[in-house]
Amino acid sequence: MIKLLASRLLYTIPVLWLVVSAVFLLIHLVPGDPIEAMLGEGAAATDLQAARHAYGLDQPVGKQYLQYWNGVLHGRLGQSIRLNQDVGRVIWERYPYTLRLTIAALVVALLLSIPAGVRSAQRRDRWDDRVLSVVSLFGLSFPNFALGPILILFFAIKLGLLPVSGAGNWEHLVLPAITLGGALAAILTRMVRTAMLEELGQDYIRTARAKGLSERTVVYKHALRNAMIPVLTVVGLQFGALLAGAIVTETIFSWPGIGRLTITAISNRDYFLVQGCILAIGLTYIAVNLLTDILYAAANPRIRQ
């Protein structure tokens, strides 16, 4: 197990380097001057030059790149050009909101997909299986930027049951979590169904039924446990999709997370803030994939060998 974790950690180093390097180069290749956008087109040339020097933007791109990585290795992510605050502090304030939304969306997806996938496998080729297949296909085809406004119009504006936007108590989390977790629930439903169909046809399931175990015990204690092994892998891979989808969802619901912060930073060409947000998202994605490997090895002892 230790050897497995060590190898996974070694794999994450080049991945993280490639992601941050690509973002650094791309944002510097985009035309425009962030200092001029911050101070305005009518700013004096001396003020522009002084601001560029203060943020280190008057140096060659190669030197800026080395200085940025030197700061990252020492825990310094730079100063936000637009907010004039430490990037690490800004991200630390926004990160819990994105993490809360992502975990809530994952919980919604699992609560919807596991019962639906199991039911669909048990009722294969029957009316409820076909209905669930159509619903899951609809969920895959319906983007969150369309689902979010529909949920707002119906539940927030028409019925007045939930708040329209913002972040406060749990009520503010319901609509964004459903919007973000809907597509993942559709993917996991089909995955659970496929895995359950394979497990329900195994010899050990027939043996368990022959021993007189209840159908609920056979399905949920024996079959579902083994069926969750490939599902765990999909959940880990789809977590990155949740982080990407959070950018759109947070914008729709004015949720103060990293996704919305990233969009604002890109529009303002806030170099250091964009790089810090991408670094935080990349580290989260890597950590989740590492946790997925651990859970996968725990669920399947053969992986530990």
| C-alpha 269 chain-centroid distance | 23
What is the DSSP code (8-state) at residue 158? I
Q: What is the DSSP letter of 31?
A: S
| 117, part of any domain | yes
Instruction: Classify residue 31 as exposed, middle or buried by CB count within 10 Å of its CB (0-12, 13-18, 19+).
Output: exposed
Among residues 154, 197, 204, which one has the least CA distance to residue 175? 154
Q: Give pLDDT, residue 298.
A: 67
42 domain residue, yes or no? no
Place of tokens 């989260």: 284
Cβ atoms 65, 57 nearer than 8 A:
no
Give the chain's domain count. 1
The answer to whether residue 53 sits within a structural domain is no
Is 238 contained in some domain? Answer: yes
Cβ contacts of 293 within 8 Å, gap of 6 or more: 4, 5, 8, 236
Residue 47 CB partners (closer than 8 Å, separation 6+):
39
Rounded distance, CA 55 to CA 15, Å? 27
Separation of alpha carbons 68 and 55, rounded Å: 11
For the whole prediction, is pTM greater than 0.95?
Answer: no
Under 8 Å CB-to-CB from 124, ≥6 apart: which residues? 197
- In this structure, the chain runs to a length of 305
Residue 146 domain flag: yes
pLDDT of residue 304: 53
Q: Which CATH number does the domain housing residue 197 bear?
A: 1.10.3720.10
- pLDDT confidence of residue 121: 85
For residue 241, CA distances in Å to 184, 256, 297 come to 9, 19, 23
Residue 236: domain span: 98-254
Alpha-carbon distance of 297 to 1, in angstroms, equals 8
Q: Is residue 132 domain-resident?
A: yes
Per-residue pLDDT of the chain (305 residues; tens, 9 = 90+): 667 667 767 777 787 788 778 877 877 777 666 777 677 666 777 777 887 777 777 788 888 888 888 888 887 888 888 788 888 889 998 888 988 888 899 899 889 888 888 888 888 878 877 888 888 877 777 777 788 888 888 888 888 888 887 777 788 888 899 988 888 888 888 888 888 888 888 888 888 888 887 878 888 877 888 888 778 777 877 777 777 778 888 888 888 888 888 888 888 778 888 888 888 888 888 778 777 777 766 666 655 55
Q: Is residue 54 part of a domain?
A: no
In a domain, 267, yes or no: no
